[in-house]
Amino acid sequence: LGKDIIYLTECHSTNDEALERLRRREITEGSIIFTDNQTRGRGQRGNVWLSQAGMNITFSLLLKPNFLIPSEQFYLNMIISLAVVELFLEYPDDIKIKWPNDILHRSDGKIGGILIENIINQKGIEYSVIGIGLNINQTVFEIPKVTSLRLLTGKDHERWELLQILVANIERRYMTLKKKEFKKIKADYLAHLYRFEEWAMFDDGEIFEGRIKGIDENGKLNIQKRDGRDCFYGMKEVAFL
Protein backbone atom coordinates (compact mmCIF):
# COMPACT_ATOMS: atom_id res chain seq x y z
CA LEU A 1 0.00 0.00 0.00
CA GLY A 2 1.11 3.55 -0.64
CA LYS A 3 3.66 2.68 -3.34
CA ASP A 4 1.81 5.07 -5.60
CA ILE A 5 1.26 8.46 -3.94
CA ILE A 6 -0.40 11.21 -5.94
CA TYR A 7 0.28 14.58 -4.35
CA LEU A 8 -2.04 17.49 -5.13
CA THR A 9 -1.37 20.99 -3.81
CA GLU A 10 -5.12 21.54 -3.75
CA CYS A 11 -8.34 19.70 -4.57
CA HIS A 12 -12.00 19.66 -3.57
CA SER A 13 -11.83 16.42 -1.65
CA THR A 14 -9.34 13.57 -1.89
CA ASN A 15 -12.25 11.12 -1.63
CA ASP A 16 -13.90 12.72 -4.67
CA GLU A 17 -10.56 12.65 -6.51
CA ALA A 18 -10.11 8.98 -5.69
CA LEU A 19 -13.66 8.10 -6.78
CA GLU A 20 -13.23 10.01 -10.04
CA ARG A 21 -9.82 8.53 -10.82
CA LEU A 22 -11.10 5.06 -10.01
CA ARG A 23 -13.96 5.59 -12.45
CA ARG A 24 -11.38 6.50 -15.09
CA ARG A 25 -9.31 3.43 -14.08
CA GLU A 26 -6.30 5.63 -13.27
CA ILE A 27 -5.63 4.23 -9.81
CA THR A 28 -5.42 0.76 -8.32
CA GLU A 29 -5.53 -0.83 -4.88
CA GLY A 30 -2.98 0.82 -2.60
CA SER A 31 -2.94 4.18 -4.42
CA ILE A 32 -2.98 7.26 -2.22
CA ILE A 33 -4.16 10.74 -3.02
CA PHE A 34 -2.74 13.30 -0.60
CA THR A 35 -3.43 17.00 -0.63
CA ASP A 36 -2.27 20.08 1.25
CA ASN A 37 -5.54 21.87 0.83
CA GLN A 38 -9.10 20.60 0.48
CA THR A 39 -11.60 23.20 -0.61
CA ARG A 40 -14.64 20.96 -0.12
CA GLY A 41 -13.54 18.34 2.40
CA ARG A 42 -16.34 16.03 3.38
CA GLY A 43 -17.08 14.39 6.72
CA GLN A 44 -19.53 11.80 7.94
CA ARG A 45 -23.27 12.48 7.91
CA GLY A 46 -22.89 15.11 5.17
CA ASN A 47 -20.74 17.37 7.36
CA VAL A 48 -17.89 19.45 6.01
CA TRP A 49 -14.32 18.67 7.01
CA LEU A 50 -12.25 21.80 7.59
CA SER A 51 -8.48 21.66 7.65
CA GLN A 52 -5.99 24.50 7.46
CA ALA A 53 -3.86 24.34 4.29
CA GLY A 54 -0.44 22.74 4.68
CA MET A 55 -0.86 21.90 8.37
CA ASN A 56 -2.49 18.51 8.52
CA ILE A 57 -2.83 15.08 6.98
CA THR A 58 -5.65 14.72 4.48
CA PHE A 59 -5.60 11.80 2.11
CA SER A 60 -7.53 8.93 0.61
CA LEU A 61 -6.35 5.37 0.12
CA LEU A 62 -7.92 2.97 -2.34
CA LEU A 63 -8.50 -0.57 -1.10
CA LYS A 64 -10.17 -3.56 -2.72
CA PRO A 65 -11.70 -5.49 0.18
CA ASN A 66 -13.78 -7.70 -2.11
CA PHE A 67 -13.02 -10.65 0.16
CA LEU A 68 -15.47 -9.28 2.74
CA ILE A 69 -19.13 -10.21 2.76
CA PRO A 70 -21.54 -7.35 3.60
CA SER A 71 -21.91 -8.37 7.25
CA GLU A 72 -18.11 -8.22 7.67
CA GLN A 73 -17.91 -4.70 6.33
CA PHE A 74 -17.68 -2.98 9.69
CA TYR A 75 -14.38 -4.76 10.34
CA LEU A 76 -12.85 -2.54 7.67
CA ASN A 77 -13.89 0.52 9.71
CA MET A 78 -12.42 -1.14 12.78
CA ILE A 79 -8.98 -1.84 11.29
CA ILE A 80 -8.69 1.66 9.87
CA SER A 81 -9.63 3.23 13.22
CA LEU A 82 -7.11 0.97 14.94
CA ALA A 83 -4.34 1.89 12.51
CA VAL A 84 -4.97 5.57 13.23
CA VAL A 85 -5.10 5.14 17.01
CA GLU A 86 -1.88 3.14 16.83
CA LEU A 87 -0.23 6.07 15.09
CA PHE A 88 -0.87 8.17 18.19
CA LEU A 89 -0.03 5.52 20.80
CA GLU A 90 3.46 6.82 21.43
CA TYR A 91 2.10 10.33 21.88
CA PRO A 92 -0.14 11.53 24.70
CA ASP A 93 -2.25 8.83 26.18
CA ASP A 94 -5.95 8.66 26.01
CA ILE A 95 -6.51 8.85 22.30
CA LYS A 96 -9.61 6.81 21.69
CA ILE A 97 -11.94 5.63 18.95
CA LYS A 98 -15.35 7.15 19.29
CA TRP A 99 -17.77 4.78 17.59
CA PRO A 100 -18.00 4.36 14.69
CA ASN A 101 -14.72 5.93 13.66
CA ASP A 102 -13.91 9.31 15.12
CA ILE A 103 -10.51 9.65 16.70
CA LEU A 104 -10.47 11.76 19.82
CA HIS A 105 -8.54 12.76 22.86
CA ARG A 106 -10.58 11.95 25.94
CA SER A 107 -10.67 15.47 27.33
CA ASP A 108 -9.48 17.73 24.50
CA GLY A 109 -11.65 16.59 21.63
CA LYS A 110 -11.46 15.31 18.11
CA ILE A 111 -8.08 14.86 16.46
CA GLY A 112 -9.10 12.90 13.39
CA GLY A 113 -11.91 11.58 11.25
CA ILE A 114 -12.42 8.79 8.76
CA LEU A 115 -14.81 8.69 5.83
CA ILE A 116 -15.09 5.34 4.07
CA GLU A 117 -16.99 5.20 0.79
CA ASN A 118 -17.63 1.90 -0.92
CA ILE A 119 -18.12 0.99 -4.53
CA ILE A 120 -20.54 -1.89 -4.65
CA ASN A 121 -21.05 -4.41 -7.44
CA GLN A 122 -23.40 -7.42 -7.72
CA LYS A 123 -21.19 -9.48 -5.42
CA GLY A 124 -20.74 -6.84 -2.71
CA ILE A 125 -18.00 -4.31 -2.02
CA GLU A 126 -15.56 -4.01 -4.86
CA TYR A 127 -13.53 -0.98 -3.81
CA SER A 128 -13.35 1.20 -0.72
CA VAL A 129 -12.08 4.74 -0.66
CA ILE A 130 -10.62 5.32 2.79
CA GLY A 131 -10.54 9.06 3.50
CA ILE A 132 -8.54 10.11 6.54
CA GLY A 133 -8.17 13.60 7.99
CA LEU A 134 -5.87 14.14 10.98
CA ASN A 135 -5.17 17.38 12.80
CA ILE A 136 -1.41 17.54 13.10
CA ASN A 137 0.14 21.04 13.24
CA GLN A 138 -2.93 23.25 13.20
CA THR A 139 -3.40 25.23 16.44
CA VAL A 140 -6.48 27.38 15.83
CA PHE A 141 -9.87 25.84 15.11
CA GLU A 142 -13.20 27.40 14.23
CA ILE A 143 -15.22 24.84 16.12
CA PRO A 144 -15.03 23.71 19.75
CA LYS A 145 -13.92 20.31 21.05
CA VAL A 146 -11.19 19.87 18.44
CA THR A 147 -7.50 19.33 19.04
CA SER A 148 -4.30 18.51 17.17
CA LEU A 149 -1.08 16.61 17.77
CA ARG A 150 0.70 19.95 18.03
CA LEU A 151 -1.69 21.12 20.76
CA LEU A 152 -1.31 17.85 22.66
CA THR A 153 2.47 17.55 22.44
CA GLY A 154 3.57 21.19 22.23
CA LYS A 155 5.65 20.63 19.11
CA ASP A 156 5.33 20.34 15.35
CA HIS A 157 5.36 16.96 13.64
CA GLU A 158 6.65 15.84 10.27
CA ARG A 159 3.56 14.94 8.27
CA TRP A 160 5.29 12.69 5.73
CA GLU A 161 6.88 10.60 8.45
CA LEU A 162 3.53 10.17 10.17
CA LEU A 163 1.89 9.27 6.86
CA GLN A 164 4.45 6.51 6.28
CA ILE A 165 3.91 5.05 9.74
CA LEU A 166 0.15 5.25 9.31
CA VAL A 167 0.24 3.48 5.94
CA ALA A 168 2.41 0.73 7.46
CA ASN A 169 -0.11 0.41 10.31
CA ILE A 170 -2.97 0.12 7.84
CA GLU A 171 -1.07 -2.46 5.83
CA ARG A 172 -0.42 -4.59 8.92
CA ARG A 173 -4.02 -4.37 10.07
CA TYR A 174 -5.31 -5.02 6.54
CA MET A 175 -3.41 -8.33 6.53
CA THR A 176 -5.27 -9.39 9.68
CA LEU A 177 -8.51 -8.48 7.92
CA LYS A 178 -7.55 -10.59 4.91
CA LYS A 179 -6.88 -13.45 7.29
CA LYS A 180 -10.29 -12.78 8.80
CA GLU A 181 -9.01 -12.49 12.35
CA PHE A 182 -12.31 -10.96 13.36
CA LYS A 183 -12.23 -11.87 17.05
CA LYS A 184 -8.89 -10.20 17.59
CA ILE A 185 -9.84 -7.14 15.54
CA LYS A 186 -12.98 -6.62 17.56
CA ALA A 187 -11.21 -7.14 20.89
CA ASP A 188 -8.55 -4.58 19.91
CA TYR A 189 -11.20 -2.14 18.73
CA LEU A 190 -13.12 -2.43 22.01
CA ALA A 191 -9.89 -1.98 23.97
CA HIS A 192 -9.50 1.47 22.40
CA LEU A 193 -13.18 2.39 22.33
CA TYR A 194 -14.22 5.66 23.95
CA ARG A 195 -16.61 5.08 26.87
CA PHE A 196 -16.53 1.29 26.58
CA GLU A 197 -18.27 -0.09 29.67
CA GLU A 198 -18.45 3.33 31.32
CA TRP A 199 -21.71 4.83 32.51
CA ALA A 200 -22.38 8.03 30.54
CA MET A 201 -25.13 10.11 29.00
CA PHE A 202 -26.49 9.52 25.49
CA ASP A 203 -29.36 10.84 23.40
CA ASP A 204 -31.54 8.62 21.21
CA GLY A 205 -34.39 11.12 21.05
CA GLU A 206 -34.48 11.00 24.80
CA ILE A 207 -31.55 11.64 27.09
CA PHE A 208 -30.56 8.54 29.03
CA GLU A 209 -27.75 7.03 31.02
CA GLY A 210 -26.18 3.95 29.57
CA ARG A 211 -22.98 2.06 29.00
CA ILE A 212 -21.51 0.66 25.82
CA LYS A 213 -21.43 -3.13 25.88
CA GLY A 214 -20.09 -3.79 22.41
CA ILE A 215 -20.69 -3.75 18.68
CA ASP A 216 -23.05 -6.20 17.01
CA GLU A 217 -22.39 -8.15 13.80
CA ASN A 218 -23.67 -5.25 11.68
CA GLY A 219 -21.49 -2.65 13.36
CA LYS A 220 -24.35 -1.29 15.47
CA LEU A 221 -23.52 0.12 18.87
CA ASN A 222 -24.89 -1.89 21.80
CA ILE A 223 -25.75 0.31 24.77
CA GLN A 224 -27.26 -1.03 27.96
CA LYS A 225 -29.65 1.35 29.67
CA ARG A 226 -29.90 1.77 33.45
CA ASP A 227 -33.03 -0.37 33.54
CA GLY A 228 -31.04 -3.23 32.02
CA ARG A 229 -32.50 -2.94 28.51
CA ASP A 230 -30.09 -3.63 25.66
CA CYS A 231 -30.37 -1.20 22.73
CA PHE A 232 -28.69 -1.28 19.31
CA TYR A 233 -28.02 1.87 17.33
CA GLY A 234 -27.04 2.76 13.79
CA MET A 235 -24.99 5.84 12.99
CA LYS A 236 -27.73 8.46 13.05
CA GLU A 237 -29.73 6.93 15.86
CA VAL A 238 -27.72 7.95 18.91
CA ALA A 239 -25.54 10.83 20.03
CA PHE A 240 -22.93 10.98 22.78
CA LEU A 241 -23.49 13.76 25.32
The residues that touch ligand BTN, with contacts defined as CB under 6 A, are 13-15, 38, 41-44, 47, 49, 58-60, 102, 113-115, 131-133
Nearer Cβ to ligand BTN (77/86): 77
For residue 63, the minimal CB distance to ligand BTN (Å) is 14
What is the rounded CA–CA span in Å between residue 115 and residue 48? 11
What is the rounded CA–CA span in Å between residue 216 and residue 220? 5
The CA angle 211-217-219, to the nearest 5 degrees, is 60
Nearer Cβ to ligand BTN (132/166): 132
Nearer Cβ to ligand BTN (65/131): 131
Cβ-proximal residue to ligand BTN, closest one:
113
For residue 158, the minimal CB distance to ligand BTN (Å) is 19
For residue 179, the minimal CB distance to ligand BTN (Å) is 27
The CA angle 66-67-70, to the nearest 5 degrees, is 75
For residue 220, the minimal CB distance to ligand BTN (Å) is 19
What is the rounded CA–CA span in Å between residue 31 and residue 115? 16
What is the rounded CA–CA span in Å between residue 9 and residue 1? 21
